[in-house]
Structure 1
Amino acid sequence: MTSRIKSPSRLIAESGADLEGHGLRRTMGLFQLVSFGIGAIVGTGIFVGLSDSVSAAGPAVVISFVLAAVTCVFTAFSFAELGSAIPVSGSSYSFAYASLGERVAFLTGWCLLLEYGVSVSAVAVGWSQYLNELLDSVIGWQLPAALSAGPGDGGVVNLPAVIVILLAALLLVRGVRESARATAAMAILKIVILVVFCAIGFTAYQNGHLSPFAGSGFSGITAGASLAFFSFIGFDAITTAGEEVKNPRRNIPLAILICIGAVTVLYCAVALAAIGALGPDAVADQPAALSVVVDKVTDSTIGGGIIAFGAVVAIASVVLAVMYGQTRILMSMSRDGLVPRIFEHVSPKTRTPVANTWIVALVFAVLAAFATLGMVVNLTTIGTLATMAVVNIAVITLRRRNPELARSFRVPLYPLSPILGVAFCVYLMWGTGWVTWLEFAGFLVVGLLVYAGYGRRHSRLVTDPEYAGQPVD
């Protein structure tokens, strides 16, 4: 039995080959790519999820953020090398196909439904919470719970979460250039808002609020790191833009490392400012924690309203960027025949996958309408960590299988770096808890059934005459 591995050269050739002449257009430079990465990362995790991380780790949440960042750095090195060597839209799915075979690639793409698709729903739910905070600050009125929360949060349907997903889809189908411009503007705004928050929070900083620093011990730091990792999800979305980036072999690795460094510093500063101003108890279990901190420090709702506005913009940009990543991964899987062909069709007018985008939007808008944030965060986290572990393994495998492959970036301290990347990913996966592990196992079983029932039989390696009689690598 063959392992059904596609060579990197074949993946690159297929990504640029379009029989209708309507392929994706390279329009994104380094600045747009960094803005896209920050747009994908900074959102619900810091604006909404900070309170959960503080609940678990207390003031030591700063260490949790660093631990999550270290995990990301090792994996970022691997993404940077693979993104420079195989600059296609499929991200970790394509990397797995080139190194570990079709079955692992399909399961990786299946897990990316958690990282991108399900996280779109989670992010949209967080957006809805801050929208209500903004409305309360500006006009003293909030949407009724029945229309702004799912059944698990005491509501009926989360209408704002549905609306933000549909608006993002509308912008995405208009074109990548328009989406990139919007994401860049929103990325700049969200950084400014978080810097302003830090400036306000540090005016009320008290050392006593950081004591005891690690009251929950190392187990609390680990649990906090698993939760904090959600705040970093999205940096790998940069590699999904491989076919729409100018000079991808240079810009993709550079953008990844810039984003991880900038976001880590920003997150640690925000956590210190929030806890230093009010103490961990006042920050814990506050869905709109940053607005609460500013309101109490300034003794006014105006500052909190500004932060809420920044959060609404920031989280909307995450929806846009992450949904973009999901559609490009499904496009790559569709090209390979592992999911239906409708996902690979590109509009000749806008050069975007229109049907793909609307299908993704509608499916995950339904989930966002009825889900709670807590329902999906841990499952999203474990799925993301699993795909990142695969990427680290893919670096080692591809170095051995294709040593001649052009790589404009190479991971430092090879092979220690990718090995540590795998170890940190597994460690944080363990911190999500056994219930999440059981849910994830069930999700993988379903994925295997889908692959056996559809993907394996419809794979281009089986059905396409181009591959007939050719050995599979």
Structure 2
Amino acid sequence: MGISTKLRFTIDGLPNGFNEIDFLAVALVLILTLVICYSTRESSWLNMVLTALHIMFILFIIVMGFWKGKWKNLTEASDPEFADGFFPYGASGVFNGAAMVYLSYIGYDAVSTMAEEVKNPVKDIPVGVSGSVILVTVLYCLMAASMSMLLPYDMIDPEAPFSGAFRGGSDGWKWVSNVIGVGASFGILTSLLVAMLGQARYMCVIGRSRVVPEWFAKVHARTSTPVNASAFLGIFTASIALFTDLNILLNLVSIGTLFVFYMVANAVIYRRYVSIGTTNPWPTLSFLICFSLTSIIFTAIWHLAPQGKPKAFILGACTVIAVGVLQLFHYMVPQARKPEFWGVPLMPWIPSISIFLNIFLLGSLDRPSYVRFAFFSALAVLVYVLYSVHASFDAEGDGKRLSNSSSEYGETVKASYETEDHKVEV
């Protein structure tokens, strides 16, 4: 929804994009860090309350947008110099926008990180992830439609679209912009809280295998929370929020998210069709490599080649090749395993479509985003090669201690949820 950035101040000596200091963001991150360190249960209750309030504000904004908006704004620009139509920037504009808003779908993996604190994770985790994706997608579409009806696209303020739309109207509607500001604040709180909860548990899990120092896997005996991981990530996040421009973070998060989703889609196919020691992995690996290369060629031609019949012919050929390879793999390679309770349906079609879309959206991002992503990826690989691989190898030789460390968090969480009348099985 967008909020004002007036509380930041600029330091001229720092590089552009890293010269706006935001102490409010630092304070907010540190306060939420204390909350998630205190208790998972209280953090969850706080998140539910804030989420409920946020949804109420979203519904209010959607209703106000459709009520005050005009249908002609969906297809007409206010300035004659801008193109009219429902897709003024064409298909490329749609995909460029999709690549930027992809970060809106990064919070759902946080549901799976809470598996140790769910009564029936086999059933509840898929329902939670699927339900949240569907609900949020519907809300996003309704908000985008209401925003497009409020103002022509060339008049939308990218910094604060909804509040700016009502603030620029008649005096009788300016109060709505204040309500939107409150709703945006709740959205920031819920997003931060969920992200910080999930990231701390990621750090805790990889700390158990010593990919990062085992200190991060420490669970507080009284609060049953990964205090060390939460505190470290809170301080690290606050440091980044202090001076880094939001657009830089958005691009970096988008490219990281797209790459992770691409890898997950590949992993889903590999796990479903390959069983170590019983099936040959090369047919599956060959399919994944061929399909990815075809998707990369399609993306490169789409973004770089000039318009014309040759471009259309090559794009059509890539599509035929990709579909043919997918169909051939589907009929010639049997599935090695099928999930007992819940799994991705329509294999391998849905993960393959995900592979293509992720590659295509990756091609919509700018070059500086790739440079930053390459730097942090190289840094992560360097840490893994010089430290993590050796520490995790040593952990394998100490299986008993690793097993005890792995069960510590689940046991302490289960103990914290037990009461006199009711016990929760984790």
Q: TM-score over 0.5 for the alignment?
A: yes
The 5 A counterparts of 1:266-415 are 266-285=139-158, 287-297=159-169, 299=171, 300-402=173-275, 403=336, 407-415=340-348
**CA separation of 1:154/1:424 partners in 2, compared to 1, >3 Å: closer, same or farther?**
closer
**CA separation of 1:448/1:243 partners in 2, compared to 1, >3 Å: closer, same or farther?**
same
Match of 1:432 in 2: 365
Per-residue deviation at 1:377? 0.7
The structure with the largest alpha-carbon Rg is 2
Q: Secondary structure at the match of 1:190?
A: helix
Q: Which deviations, in whole Å up to 9, do the C-alpha atoms of 1:302-350 show, x marking residues without a partner?
A: 2111110111111111111101111111111111110011110000000
Per-residue deviation at 1:155? 5.9
Select the residue among 43, 60, 67 that pairs with 1:196: 60
Per-residue deviation at 1:281? 1.8
* RMSD across aligned positions (CA): 2.3
Q: Secondary structure at the match of 1:459?
A: helix
Match of 2:37 in 1: 173
Distance in 2 of aligned mates of 1:144 and 1:230? 23
Per-residue deviation at 1:374? 0.9
Q: Secondary structure at the match of 2:21?
A: coil
Select the residue among 445, 453, 460 that pairs with 2:378: 445
Q: Secondary structure at the match of 2:117?
A: coil
Select the residue among 224, 242, 248 that pairs with 2:97: 224
Q: Which deviations, in whole Å up to 9, do the C-alpha atoms of 1:203-259 show, x marking residues without a partner?
A: 222222112211111111111111121222211211111111110000110111111
**TM-score with structure 2 setting the length:** 0.73
Identity of aligned residues (%): 28
Return the letter of the residue paired with 1:319: L
Distance in 2 of aligned mates of 1:260 and 1:390? 19
**TM-score with structure 1 setting the length:** 0.66
Distance in 1 of aligned mates of 2:185 and 2:15? 22
Distance in 2 of aligned mates of 1:227 and 1:443? 20
Distance in 2 of aligned mates of 1:373 and 1:163? 17
Return the letter of the residue paired with 2:179: I
**CA separation of 1:336/1:144 partners in 2, compared to 1, >3 Å: closer, same or farther?**
closer
The 5 A counterparts of 1:78-227 are 129-130=3-4, 143=7, 145=9, 152=16, 156-211=20-75, 212-227=85-100
Match of 1:104 in 2: none
Paired residues of 1:201 and 1:294 also in contact (CA < 8 A): no
Q: Which deviations, in whole Å up to 9, do the C-alpha atoms of 1:426-447 show, x marking residues without a partner?
A: 1111111233223222222222
Greater shift after overlay, 276-285 or 218-227? 276-285
Distance in 1 of aligned mates of 2:95 and 2:230? 36
Distance in 2 of aligned mates of 1:442 and 1:154? 17
Per-residue deviation at 1:295? 2.7
Per-residue deviation at 1:178? 0.3
Paired residues of 2:7 and 2:24 also in contact (CA < 8 A): no
Unaligned runs of 5+ in 1: 1-46, 49-128, 133-141, 469-473
**CA separation of 1:157/1:346 partners in 2, compared to 1, >3 Å: closer, same or farther?**
same
Per-residue deviation at 1:292? 1.5
Q: Secondary structure at the match of 1:350?
A: coil
Match of 1:122 in 2: none
Distance in 1 of aligned mates of 2:17 and 2:176? 27
Paired residues of 1:173 and 1:350 also in contact (CA < 8 A): yes
Match of 1:237 in 2: 110
Select the residue among 246, 252, 256 that pairs with 2:125: 252
Q: Secondary structure at the match of 2:116?
A: coil
Q: Which deviations, in whole Å up to 9, do the C-alpha atoms of 1:177-220 show, x marking residues without a partner?
A: 10110100111111111111111111222222112211111111
Paired residues of 1:277 and 1:297 also in contact (CA < 8 A): no
Aligned length: 329
Q: Which deviations, in whole Å up to 9, do the C-alpha atoms of 1:140-198 show, x marking residues without a partner?
A: xx646359xx9746965200110110011011011111011010011111111111111
Distance in 2 of aligned mates of 1:390 and 1:144? 37
Paired residues of 2:255 and 2:373 also in contact (CA < 8 A): yes
Per-residue deviation at 1:294? 2.8
Mapped pair 1:264 → 2:137: yes
Distance in 1 of aligned mates of 2:20 and 2:355? 41
Distance in 2 of aligned mates of 1:466 and 1:160? 45
